[in-house]
Chains A and B, each alone.
Chain A
Amino acid sequence: MRQHITFRNKSDSISVHMERRSLIVICVLFFLSLSAVIAGTSLGNTVIPPLEVIQSILKIGSGEHDFVIHTLRLPRVLVALLVGAALGVSGAILQGIIRNPLASPDIIGITGGASVAAVAFVTFLAGTVSISFMPLAAIVGAMIVSITIYLLAWKNGVTPIRLVLVGIGISAIMGAGTTFMLVMSPYFTAGKAYIWLTGSVYGSTWEDVYLILPVTAVIIPCVVILARNLNLQEFGDEVATGLGAAVQRQRLTLLAFSVLLAGVAVSIGGAIGFVGLIAPHIARKLVGRPFGSLTIVSALVGSLLVFVADWLGRTAFYPLDIPAGIFTAGVGAPFFLYLLFKNRNQL
């Protein structure tokens, strides 16, 4: 029985190495995500039988539920899955590079940057500029803040610890900025900004799907291909450089991927917390350290996390629609403490 399966192209320049067990896990999770699309679309206050959902998606159904499925539920389910995938991979990259189990887009300030930009947008520009430009503002914010963090952490190279610490400091400044705007803006807008800050995929449309789908579809495979290098990095700078990987360059590329993924996810779903932290940990439990499969599994786990959170949010207190971020925080925050306790010897 073969333990490893290797995918490679002819020139051998790209190769993805995968354990048998990982392949099974990925298949199972992929199947689960697919069922989530069906189940998520069929479950709601009005349950639409799964068969009808499939018929409707394939456009061979009676058309009775087409509106609810195509306009309301399906885009929302897809956005939840894609946002989760983006956050999961973003977190996996950060944890890999920073070699710190507590790293995630929320902790080191990427989410903070996106939030400040988005809240500023709502506070100062809502009403004058169409709200559909908010995602753009969030992505730009995430980008600027991450570049700032990276540059500030630069001192003959970037050490993971310095990156985390600078990120935490910048996070605090961003938090102050956000609070400032929340206090300053008329109270009703503050309430709106708060829902957004918690993170929610309420009101997702196909436009959101079209925005996030290409990004995840391009970047996640790139990350998987670059994965070999990250496997080396986990040994530490010295070992990795010794093995010939141009550490800083790879690190920069991967960080940029991570920021893009997180920025796009936040721009659409708001600051859905802790997914970038938890997903890679669950993934590591399932498939271990090899980074290629870890990336894929993190994406799938992240998808399912956000999906379940959102599904609970829209059904648990029906007809109230609770932001998905509340549920991810409810699971994520205690998990964070557990991680802290578990990793007490490694920090």
Chain B
Amino acid sequence: MFHLYASVKMKVAGFCLLLLLLTGAFVSSLIFGRTPLTFSTAMQAFLHYDAALIEHVVVLTERLPRAVIATVVGASLAVAGALMQALTRNPLASPSTFGINAGAIFFIVIAIVVFSVSSLVQLTWVAFVGAAISAVTVYSLGSMGKDGLTPVKIVLAGTAITALFVSFTQAILVLDETGLQDVMFWLAGSISGRTLDMLIPVLPYMGVAGVMSLFMGRAINLLITGDDIAKGMGQNTLLVKCMMGAIIVLLAGSSVAVVGAVGFIGLVVPHLSRAFVGNDYRLLIPFSALAGAVLLLSADVVARLLIMPTEIPIGVMTALIGGPFFVYIARKGVTKI
């Protein structure tokens, strides 16, 4: 299914399809929800905004931020996943399997329960730090030892860190039941109720990292041929790896900071994208970004429609999609990319 070199036609068709899907998903995100709207109402809200109309207010203050966050976060997670899979040479790598979600959430729970931090902006930064710490820990734990990074070691290290943070989190929550509900949606991940105010502080980092990732395609293509070859071709592999690491932490950390634990986007999307554009990272990165946005937007629309008036946490949705995919790859065989 995953060809290294897909035909040019396939690539072009893939990109076109993806752009169509993205538009469709974005529009669906604007019009479906608690109050169903029509496409024209949504358009009217942009063109002739009338603050007296509930529909217009809903579109601009709720649906639009939500759609924008889903797009940006979906794209970021997918790119982070693609880079992680290249950096660790592990098809199972992704922000969630690395324990980044669990680490960030543990820090958030500590901040809420122990230090009574309440501002969402502050929590955003706490999450960011937690994400970075667990990513670095897993990478160092995974790359220690004589074989260096092996796929299994990375996955186990990620699982270990996740288990560690999850049990700490549970311990705190059991001791302080009143805090349980207030962190529940962090635990499960949610795009609902997040405002653009939360996205804006991290947007510059995501933007810089995203743009950097687009220019790294060539270097990554060289890197995945193997360290020795890359070095032989005159690449400073350490520099490339460090840059990739920084991009990953920025993208994944900010994403978790905005929406909480949304897993598996970073795992699923790069694999699906490879089916269309092959393993050429110059194309794979932009393609993954678009596909990630589409996937998260659609998951979010479904999550809000299934059990109205309340919503399925988006993290649960993505895990239900991504878990089986993880199993599928594990079955297929974990060989180095």
Question: In the assembly, what is the distance between CA of A153 and CA of B175, in Å?
Answer: 38
| B181 and A187 within 8 A (CB) | yes
Query: Is the beta-carbon distance between B331 and A336 smaller than 8 angstroms?
Result: no
Contact of A198 with B145 at beta-carbon distance under 8 Å, contacts A166-B331, A183-B313 already known: no
What B residues does A107 contact at CB under 8 A? Answer: 159, 163
Would you call A173 and B323 a contact (CB within 8 A)?
yes
Q: Cβ of A343: which chain B residues have Cβ within 8 Å of it?
A: 145
Interface segment, A76-84, A125-133, A260-268, A323-331?
A323-331
Residues of A in contact, count (CB < 8 Å): 54
Provide the bound-state CA to CA distance between A113 and B128, in Å.
Answer: 31
User: Which residue in B161, B320, B334 is a CB contact (below 8 Å) of A176?
Assistant: B320
The answer, among B152, B171, B319, for a CB contact under 8 Å with A164, is: B152
Are A169 and B164 in contact, with the CB atoms below 8 A?
no
Of A173, A191, A325, the contact of B177 (CB 8 Å cutoff)? A191
A172 within 8 Å of B (CB atoms): yes
| Contact partners of B326 in chain A: CB under 8 A | 165, 168-169, 172
Q: Contacts of B155 on A, CB cut-off 8 Å?
A: 165, 168
Residue in contact with A180 in the complex, picked from B150, B164, B175, B313, CB distance below 8 Å: B313
Interface of A (DSSP majority class): helix
A337–B164 touching, CB < 8 Å? yes
A residues less than 8 Å from B170 (CB atoms): 194, 197-198, 325-326, 329
Is B330 in contact with A165, judged by CB distance below 8 angstroms? yes
Asked if A162 meets B331 with Cβ closer than 8 Å, knowing A173-B319, A184-B307, A344-B144, the reply is yes
Interface size class of B (residues with CB under 8 A): 35 or more
Tell me, yes or no, whether B141 is within 8 Å of chain A by CB: yes
Q: Mark B305-329, 1 if CB is under 8 A from A, else 0.
A: 0010010110110011011101100
Bound complex: CA of A198 vs CA of B172, how far in Å? Answer: 11
Cα–Cα, bound, A135→B187 (Å): 27
Q: Do B141 and A340 have beta carbons less than 8 Å apart?
A: yes
- A27 interfacial by beta-carbon distance below 8 Å: no
B188 to chain A, nearest CB (A): 5
Name the contact of A329 in the complex, choosing from B144, B171, B181, B323 (C-beta under 8 A).
B171
Q: Closest CB of chain A to B163's CB: distance in Å?
A: 6
User: Are B316 and A329 closer than 8 Å at their CB atoms?
Assistant: no
Within 8 A of A (CB), among B152-204: 152-153, 155-157, 159-161, 163-164, 167-168, 170-171, 173-175, 177, 180-181, 184-185, 187-188
Summed over the interface, the residue pairs from A and B with CB atoms below 8 Å come to a total of: 150
Name A102's contact: one of B160, B313, B316 (CB within 8 Å): B160
* Interface set, chain A 291-342, CB cutoff 8 A to B: 322-323, 325-326, 329-330, 332-334, 336-337, 339-341
Which residues 22-53 in A have Cβ within 8 Å of B in the complex?
Answer: none
Which residues of B sit under 8 angstroms from A100, Cβ to Cβ?
A: 156
The answer, yes or no, to whether A273 is at the interface (CB within 8 Å) is yes
Q: Is the CB of A162 within 8 A of B164?
A: no
Let me know if B146 is at the binding interface, CB within 8 A.
Answer: yes
- CB of B210 within 8 A of chain A? no
A343 to B157, CA, bound (A): 11
Closest partner residue, chain B, to A330 (CB atom): B171
Are B153 and A344 within 8 A (Cβ)?
Answer: yes
A152 contacts partner chain B, Cβ-Cβ < 8 Å = yes
Give Cα distance in the complex from A166 to B330, angstroms. 6
The answer to whether B58 has its CB under 8 Å from any CB of chain A is no
Query: Once bound together, how far apart are the Cα atoms of A159 and B187, in whole Å?
Result: 33
Q: How far is the CB of B300 from chain A (nearest CB, A)?
A: 15
B123 to chain A, nearest CB (A): 19
Q: Which residues of B contact A273 (CB under 8 A)?
A: 163, 167
B330 with A162: CB separation less than 8 A: yes
A189 to chain B, nearest CB (A): 12
| Closest chain B residue to A103, Cβ basis | B156
Complex Cα distance A218/B137, Å?
A: 42
B residues near A340, Cβ cutoff 8 Å: 141, 156-157, 160
A106–B316 contact, CB under 8 A?
no
- Across the interface, A155 reaches (CB within 8 A) one of B174, B180, B331, namely B331
On whether A164 and B156 interact (CB within 8 A), knowing A155-B331, A345-B146, the answer reads: yes
Contact B159 A173 (CB under 8 A): no
B331 touches A337 (CB 8 A): no
Q: Is A230 at the interface (CB under 8 A from chain B)?
A: no
Q: A168-B155, A339-B160 are in contact. List 18 more A-B contacts (CB 8 A).
A: A107-B163, A152-B331, A166-B330, A170-B323, A176-B320, A179-B188, A183-B312, A187-B180, A322-B174, A326-B174, A330-B171, A333-B167, A343-B145, A344-B145, A344-B153, A345-B145, A345-B147, A347-B156
- 5 interchain pairs, CB-CB under 8 A: A106-B163, A176-B320, A183-B184, A183-B313, A344-B145
Per CB-CB distance, the 9 closest pairs between chain A and chain B, nearest first, are A344-B145, A176-B319, A173-B323, A329-B167, A165-B330, A169-B326, A169-B327, A333-B164, A344-B144
**Which A residues lie at the B interface, using CB under 8 A?**
100, 102, 106-107, 152-153, 155, 161-162, 164-166, 168-173, 175-177, 179-180, 182-184, 187, 190-191, 194-195, 197-198, 273-274, 322-323, 325-326, 329-330, 332-334, 336-337, 339-341, 343-347
